A and B are shown apart, each in its own frame.
Chain A
């Protein structure tokens, strides 16, 4: 086992140190660890190339001499191999360290920590003292988180079971466009194949694993796609005016775009994407809240209240 790791490290060094392309026979002759019959060596080399590629190390294949096309040559370009953040400052490094730190114990912890190791190998001292004290933290322990981030960067359609309104599970196929957090939940936004439109999925409503549905680069993300406005429902906002009692309904107060003092009550204006959810939020606040307009919200609340009376009366 350590023979193999040793050979791979040696191969990396040899291909990285060379300025010209090195042929296979040169590699077999000079790089330690290639032994056995020509076929064995050949197989070893093919596997080694794949392994390095899986580590993200790109091996360039080229012609050793343009006049003789009989043997291919190999090398690793240092520009592609090494981390290139140009002249990074200590302060910038500190910002990136904080960014990595935010993942402690959450889904991308491993990736964040190995990024941190690379960053601290640059030889620039992180200047954490120049930043205000803060400890941002992300939380997501969803096992498939990494499948989704990979899907977005490689444009791979994914499929998963999604828990619908009445708890039935539906199989969805989605081209992932982006992921984001809102109010402590993670959301996936993407093109739903069957519904032929952009849909939003909450991570904790995904039942079981997320799997790849097709090969990479299967779709393009529209240039005008805007994650934030999708999540805010900016395309289809409803406007309402609501009376709330003084000192009450803090959640609604925070959403208000304007507040008007009306004595015992305050009247607020709010805009929201989802009427059904707004009805529930208004109901939550009981007799501290009264909807003035619009009719959709007002009638929805009244209908629910009548239904509640009928159900419990």
Chain B
């Protein structure tokens, strides 16, 4: 529901939605009703009081909307004119269309029955709002893995996962006890106790390629701390392709004023990761120090060039 509840227009919209909702949910608890509409109970009481004064012209008791909500349960009568839910506006239809896309891709291809239903629903929604342009959404993450993880978190049970570790470019098998979801503006993560590492680790959701209930029990070791790897510090110089470097090294935020030749300090848990970062910047970023890491870059690059000799 709209978060700004104060304008009369929002109140009107809400009251018009309230009537059909009550119609479909006769005898609903006031507290649940307020919750469903995302407002407080006293705001809801104020809405219902106003609604009580509304009705067909003439405004005799016979023509007024008849509400009863004295004992904490709300029922409605005499509101036939408004009993059908209002048409969806464009934003609402678009939200559903994009959401349907996602549901579609989370389904297995064998459910042709559901896929056909989704396509028919999408066509109906498009026609409702006369949509000409195109909108599509696809998940960054396999939906079935997410629901497996959600279930494991809520039931406190362990999982065997296949994880693609990007910096080592290795797929590893691990047993984890997922604890909670985390996310930054780009990716979703699951924070978990990793039995294989005997420590708490953060896993990027889109790198988990497979997840099944664990074959054996997993319990955090007593003194398991947060990841104990050391953080290394590097100095880099960005020569050009500033936007790419900014996104690669995650220098977003206060670094809008990057300029060619600027020096930056960046950190990494492993030298391997840093080497891959520098390599994929395609020589637009130079690793300045430490000197050994710098030398390693040159050696590694020569090593790859040898493949082409």
Contacts and interface: CB of A to CB of B under 8 A. Distances in A.
A59 to B, nearest CB: 14
Interface stretch (B134-142, B194-202, B216-224): B134-142
B135 A286 contact: no
A99 B102 contact: yes
Interface string A83-97: 111100001100110
A135 B241 contact: no
Given A16-B82, A111-B94, A99 B100 contact: yes
A111 B53 contact: no
A166 interface: yes
B85 A82 contact: yes
A85 B124 contact: yes
Interface in A70-125: 78, 80-86, 91-92, 95-96, 98-103, 108, 110-115, 117-123
Given A136-B99, A141-B185, A5 B276 contact: no
A2 B46 contact: yes
Given A5-B8, A113-B38, A132-B108, A153 B94 contact: yes
B136 A180 contact: yes
Contacts of B169: 248-250, 285, 288
A43 B303 CA distance: 81
B86 A83 contact: yes
B21 A121 contact: yes
A298 to B, nearest CB: 8
State the majority secondary structure of interface residues on A: helix
A312 B186 contact: no
Contacts of B298: 308-309, 312-313
Given A309-B301, A312-B287, A102 B102 contact: yes
Interface string B252-282: 0000101010000000000000011011111
Q: Which of A182, A248, A309 has the most CB of B within 10 A?
A: A309
A31 interface: yes
Given A14-B57, A178-B135, A184-B206, A120 B283 contact: no
A227 to B, nearest CB: 4
B137 A181 contact: yes
Nearest to B297: A312
A304 to B, nearest CB: 4
A166 B241 contact: yes
Interface stretch (A60-68, A256-264, A266-274, A275-283): A275-283
Contact of B1 (A30, A55, A114, A205): A114
A181 B98 CA distance: 10
A279 B304 CA distance: 13
Contacts of B97: 99
A274 B24 CA distance: 53
Counting chain A residues whose Cβ lies within 8 A of the other chain, the interface size class is 35 or more
B305 interface: yes
A13 B82 contact: yes
Given A133-B147, A305-B305, A312-B294, A180 B276 contact: no
Contacts of B20: 118, 121-122
Contacts of B241: 165-166
A166 B242 contact: yes
B286 A312 contact: yes
Contacts of B13: 55
Interface in B1-26: 1-3, 8-9, 11-13, 15-17, 20-21, 23-25
B286 A311 contact: yes
A174 interface: no
A200 interface: no
A249 B98 CA distance: 32
A121 B114 contact: no
A257 B190 CA distance: 31
A209 interface: no
Contacts of B1: 110, 113-114, 117
Contacts of A86: 124
A80 B54 contact: no
B89 A56 contact: yes
Contact of B92 (A8, A118, A164): A118
A294 interface: no
A165 B241 CA distance: 6
B84 A12 contact: no
Interface of A: 1-2, 4-6, 8-10, 12-14, 16-17, 30-32, 51, 54-57, 78, 80-86, 91-92, 95-96, 98-103, 108, 110-115, 117-123, 131-139, 141, 146, 149-150, 152-155, 163-167, 176-185, 204-205, 220-221, 225-228, 247-250, 276, 279-281, 283-288, 290, 298, 302, 304-309, 311-313
Interface of B: 1-3, 8-9, 11-13, 15-17, 20-21, 23-25, 36-38, 46, 50-51, 53-59, 81-82, 84-100, 102-103, 105-108, 111, 114, 117-118, 121, 124, 128-141, 143-144, 146-147, 150-151, 164, 169-171, 183, 185-188, 206, 240-244, 246, 256, 258, 260, 275-276, 278-283, 286-287, 294-295, 297-298, 300-305, 307-308
Q: Across chains A and B, which 5 residue pairs bring their CB atoms closest together, nearest first?
A: A99-B99, A184-B140, A30-B57, A178-B134, A307-B283
Given A136-B103, A163-B243, 8 more contacts: A8-B9, A9-B51, A117-B37, A118-B92, A136-B143, A155-B132, A167-B258, A179-B135
9 contacts: A2-B46, A82-B85, A101-B99, A115-B95, A122-B20, A122-B24, A153-B131, A286-B300, A307-B282
